[in-house]
Amino acid sequence: MSPEETALSVIETSIKLPFVKVNREEFLVKQFRNTSVKATDLLEKGPEKLFSKKELDEIADKVISSNVLKSTSASFATGLPGGIAVAATIPADLAQFYGFVLKIAQEISYVYGYKSLFDENNELTDEAKNHLILFMGVMLGVTAAGSTIRVASIQASKTALQQIPKQALTKTTFYPILKKVLKIFGIKLTKSTFGKGISKIIPVVGGVVSGSLNYASMKPMAKNLKNELGKIVDYTEEDYLKDIEVVEKNIK
């Protein structure tokens, strides 16, 4: 199995876990319930149109802390649906760890204005899968992943930065960066997990993730994504052009 295939397998397996899929509407209503904004306005306009970046950052920080706390107290490799994780290919604790990572990624994206990543059948679309791959790239510190996310988001928007003549960066154009993320992620998984033992990437003691070490691993990853997605708020023409330059350098 190539590094790219390994990475995709982990992502696709983890997203199937029952706690991973986040209902955008329910999540946003819950997170912003103590504000004066009506739920209908929140869901129709999006948080990024109704709250300052500082307020969104505070919500994102609470989301990160809540998820990290839950993950550190979870018993890994237990309670997983039969057939979801196969020890010979994708260890159950690995799938569950990255399940929490993907859950956090969805929630952070919704705080900063992303629409639902799942279709009407509650299935992950191909475009959404690409975004999750890029989210993972940002969390792992892959160069250009953050710029790619912002460029893709702005290009998909019908209102943002309409004055900018957007360059024709298609899904095919983004493919080299997606592939780079998968390769780096896959190599990390192969070397750290299968080559040196799973404890190198997910510290496991007696089947339960060590709280302090899991916290140390997951929180910085989530903070990376929060910082990059937060740049979409108050995004300017100058920001866009800088991101375009970064993307173009990394797809040559």
Domain ranges of the chain: 3-250
From first to last of its 252 residues, the chain has per-residue pLDDT tens of: 788 888 888 888 888 888 889 999 999 999 999 899 999 999 999 999 999 999 999 999 999 999 888 776 664 444 455 545 444 456 666 777 888 899 999 999 999 999 998 888 888 888 888 889 999 999 988 879 999 988 888 766 644 455 555 554 555 567 888 888 888 888 877 665 543 343 434 444 334 444 444 656 788 999 999 999 999 988 888 898 899 889 888 876
Q: pTM of the predicted model, to two decimals?
A: 0.83
Q: How far is CA 171 from CA 18, 129, 179, in A?
A: 29, 12, 12
Which one, of 154, 147, 139, lies nearest residue 177 by Cα? 147
CA 68 to chain centre: 14
Token pair belonging to 162: 């309409």
